[in-house]
Amino acid sequence: MSDDITAGRHHRAGHWQGPTADRLVLDYEGRFLRRKRLALASGGSVLVDLPETVSLDAGDALETADGRMIEIAAAPEPLLRVTGDLVRLAWHIGNRHTPCQVAGDHLLIREDHVLADMLTRLGAGVEPVTAPFTPEGGAYGHGRTHGHDHGAAHDHGHGHGHGHAH
């Protein structure tokens, strides 16, 4: 694909078909976008120009103006593998609005020394790893959990009545 390729449509994993023309390998932050020129796995580039900001998931695809599909892949990145009382630890991670990938015997979160210290104090095993990060999408479907400042007064529908600011 050449530099004049534009991708303007997004398709969720399982809702697109056909051969892929190329791949975009992006970390967690890189998969949250609206308009940006990105390097393709083949070495070319594509201008992503979506109508709104989206959180891309591994297995999703972007459709180019000429109908070709570019598959989204999760890039390996620095993470923490958390083991122990997963229900309790997941509650503490979620209470901090931190993205978390849930597996059968461990949790994965992005590398963060403050959270690593907290989790260790809670009795967790915390081990640095490098792996693709595909956290849970949240209670309301696809999307992101965002870090929150609990000092501001804003309730955006959680029903908890505690303040949030973005």
Burial class (CB in 10 A: 0-12, 13-18, 19+), 32: middle
Give the integer Cα–Cα distance in Å for 81 and 83. 7
- pLDDT for res 130: 98
Burial class (CB in 10 A: 0-12, 13-18, 19+), 31: buried
Report the residue count for the chain: 166
Contact of 13 with 56, CB cutoff 8 Å: no
Contact of 57 with 12, CB cutoff 8 Å: yes
Q: What Rg value do the Cα atoms of the chain yield, rounded?
A: 18
Give the integer Cα–Cα distance in Å for 97 and 112. 13
- pLDDT for res 153: 37
The rounded Cα 51 to chain-centroid distance in angstroms is: 19
- pLDDT for res 14: 93
Enter the pTM of the model: 0.79
- pLDDT for res 137: 77
- pLDDT for res 156: 38
The parts of the chain modelled with pLDDT lower than 70 are 1-3, 138-166
- Output the CA–CA distances (angstroms, integers) from residue 84 to 9, 68, 131, in the order listed: 41, 45, 20
